[in-house]
Amino acid sequence: MTLPVEDEDDENHYLAPSEARMKIESENLSLEKLKSYLPNTKNNTEEKKYIAERKKEDKSFVFDFTKVRATARCNYCGATRVIYSHKKVGVKDGPTVKDLEKLKSSLERNGYNCGDKITVGKFYAHRALMCGHPIEPYYHNPNTGTKGGRIVTKDICAVCYVNDDLVTPNEMIKSLDLLGGKAPLTICRGCFESGVEPPSPGGRPNVRQATQQAKATKKHDGAVVAGKRKARTTK
Per residue in 31-77, pLDDT (tens digit) is 566 656 655 555 567 777 888 899 999 999 999 999 999 999 988 87
Q: How confident is the model at residue 210 (pLDDT cuts 50, 70, 90)?
A: very low
Amino acid at 55: K
Residue 203 has pLDDT above 60, yes or no: no
Is pLDDT above 70 for 207? no
**Length of the chain (residues):** 235
Kindly report whether the global pTM for this prediction surpasses the value 0.85: no
Number of CB atoms found within 10 A of residue 235's CB? 4
* pLDDT one-digit tens code per residue, 122-172: 999 999 988 878 888 899 888 889 999 999 999 988 887 888 889 877 787
Per-residue confidence (pLDDT) for residue 208, from 0 to 100: 40
Q: Is 133 helix (H, G, I), strand (E, B) or coil?
A: coil
* Dihedral over Cα of 103, 109, 115, 116: its sign: negative
Q: Is the confidence at residue 235, as pLDDT, over 50?
A: no
Q: What single DSSP character describes residue 91?
A: S
Gap between the Cα atoms of 126 and 58, Å rounded: 6
Q: How many other C-beta atoms are found inside a 10 Å radius of the C-beta of residue 217?
A: 13
Edge to edge, what strands does the sheet with 68-73 contain?
68-73, 80-85, 123-125
Query: Per-residue pLDDT tens for 96-131?
Result: 999 999 999 999 999 999 999 999 999 999 999 888
Q: Which residues pair with 235 in a beta bridge?
A: none
Distance separating alpha carbons of residues 33 and 5, to the nearest angstrom: 9
Neighbours of 165 (CB within 10 A): 11
What pLDDT, on a 0 to 100 scale, did the predictor assign at position 215? 47
d(CA 174, CA 230): 25
